[in-house]
Amino acid sequence: MIHRQRPSIYDVARQAGVSHMTVSRVLNGHANIRDATRARVLQVIDEMNYTPSPIARALATRRAHRIGVLVDAPDQYGPNSTLQAFESAARVAGYAISTFSVADDEGSPIDSGASELANQGVEALCVIAPRAKSLDLLRRQATGLPTVVIKSERDEQWHTIGVDQRAGAVKAVTHLIERGHTSIAHLAGPLDWFDSRERAEGWRQALKDHGIRPGAMVSGDWTSDFGYEFGRRFDIGETTAVFASNDQMALGLIHGLSERGLRVPHDLSIVGFDDLPDTRHFLPPLTTVRQDFAALGDLALQRIVSAIEHDGAPQHHTIEPLVVVRMSSSSPPTVRGGR
């Protein structure tokens, strides 16, 4: 039998026409690498199916090259997508991941998870904790590890990375205003969630910027079931549009309205948030706000690697979301000549 030798970092360097140190810097997410060089090295890594040996790296660098990830509410779309994106970015860079998940029905709080990961010898922590109560617990747990928190708001205690939730909400509501809507309600998420708070603030800000009084706001639980029940009982009155804080509630809302004989967008325009993979197949296809989770994962890894190497004062970075316009939003009925 012929056994193929596993490609080494030197093989990658030779094929890419760079030094092995350059390959190492690309794997570790260094910022001072030219984009063209980084792309060429990553292409060769992919073509050669190269995977860094964690044992060899640990012996050579006296570092574990392992990052701990704390995930609160892993069953929800946002935290789950963030985790997948971060794991993918870490894998490409040659880092191993240890994950500790916290769900509502589990007895292990997030601060216990931080201690457990620290005891496993991780070099840093990535915290995906969208709820305020989880971060309140974590603040009391001093691990001494470089920590990056996925959060759209700045925090004086940690490095923070996030999609700009408030900006996304402003863009969504502005889209409705530009189409003539002046009575826009908000179906918010749970107000213990940072993202839900920021989206609600973005809704208020966009209306205030255009001199429009806020419509009704109801706080939901992220589920399509809640959106459905809301759609069945919501007293529309003069409301011509609803900004839903996530796509699942928007889906339920459309269902609930349809059972009452109300059509979207003819009777009510709907805009969601997240751009779930299936939103283009909703009836009608949903206008929503897209979050770039791949970019979020890459940026989080870059910040963690930087923090491991020279941890300084907490920094904050955000990624701009994008409004994806589909068929669930149009001009209000009054503009088109009545319901």
Q: How far apart are CA 330 and CA 240, in angstroms?
A: 10
Would you state the pLDDT for residue 59? Answer: 42
Would you state the pLDDT for residue 182? Answer: 96
Domain extents in the chain: 9-51, 63-163+292-320, 165-291
Would you state the pLDDT for residue 249? Answer: 98
The fold of 63-163+292-320 is: Rossmann fold (3.40.50)
The one-letter code for the residue type at 68 is G
Would you state the pLDDT for residue 84? Answer: 94
3-state SS of 222-265?
Answer: CCHHHHHHHHHHCCCCCCCEEEECCHHHHHHHHHHHHHCCCCCC
Would you state the pLDDT for residue 137? Answer: 85
Would you state the pLDDT for residue 298? Answer: 92
- φ and ψ at 199, to 5 degrees? -70, -40
The pLDDT > 90 percentage for the chain reads 63
Token pair, residue 199, equals: 């989206």
Which CATH code for domain 165-291? 3.40.50.2300
* Mean pLDDT within 44-64: 65
- Ranked by mean pLDDT, the top range of 29-33, 154-158, 181-185, 312-316 is 181-185
Asked whether the beta carbons of 97 and 65 are under 8 A apart, the reply is no
- φ and ψ at 69, to 5 degrees? -120, 120
Would you state the pLDDT for residue 310? Answer: 80
The one-letter code for the residue type at 320 is E
pLDDT at 34 over 90: no
Which of 50-59, 311-320, 324-333 shows the lowest mean pLDDT across its residues?
50-59
With cut-offs at 50, 70 and 90, classify the pLDDT of residue 177.
very high
- Ranked by mean pLDDT, the top range of 54-63, 91-100, 110-119, 283-292 is 283-292
Would you state the pLDDT for residue 143? Answer: 79
- For the stretch 130-153, pLDDT in tens is 998 888 888 887 778 999 999 999
pLDDT at 53 over 70: no
Contacts of 327 (CB under 8 A, 6+ apart): 265, 284, 285, 287
* Mean pLDDT within 209-235: 97
- For the stretch 230-273, pLDDT in tens is 999 999 999 999 999 999 999 999 999 999 999 999 999 999 99
- For the stretch 65-83, pLDDT in tens is 889 999 999 999 999 999 9
Would you state the pLDDT for residue 31? Answer: 66
Q: Do domains 63-163+292-320 and 165-291 have the same CATH topology?
A: yes
pTM, entire model: 0.80
Superfamily of domain 9-51 in the CATH hierarchy:
lambda repressor-like DNA-binding domains (1.10.260.40)
Residue 5's alpha-carbon distances to 2, 49, 53, 242, 325, in angstroms, are 9, 12, 13, 59, 50
Q: Does an H or E element contain 147, and which?
A: strand 147-150
Would you state the pLDDT for residue 129? Answer: 87
